Amino acid sequence: MEAWLLRIDWALVIAYGLGIFLVYLIARALVLPLKLTLELLANALIGAVLLLLFNVVGGYWGYHVPLNPVTAVLAGMLGIPGVALLVVLKYWLFG
């Protein structure tokens, strides 16, 4: 076996290792906001569907939560707990 195959340049190995680690950190920094955005979108969709479903079912008894920017944001950001909060607040504040 030739001598140049056995010689390890540790500076090069460390440089490659740091480069791979840097790429990992950058990729993780880019994926985290995407993950949060997708979770927020899923919560918004679930919240909107539940709010609309509640309004359809509650409409039979004359009970509904108005759909406006505030209720949409609460239902979107909090999802199921947001819709529950809106229903409880509607019941407590407006009977």
Q: In the prediction, which pLDDT does 6 show? A: 62
Q: In the prediction, which pLDDT does 30 show? A: 84
Question: Would you list the DSSP string of 19-82?
Answer: HHHHHHHHHHHHHHHHHHHHHHHHHHHHHHHHHHHHHHHHGGGT-----SHHHHHHHHHH-HHH
Instruction: Give the side-chain half-sphere CA count within 13 A for 6.
Output: 3
Provide the residue-wise pLDDT of the chain in tens; the chain has 95 residues.
555 556 777 788 888 888 899 999 888 888 888 888 888 888 888 888 888 888 899 888 888 888 887 888 788 788 788 888 888 888 888 76
Q: In the prediction, which pLDDT does 43 show? A: 81
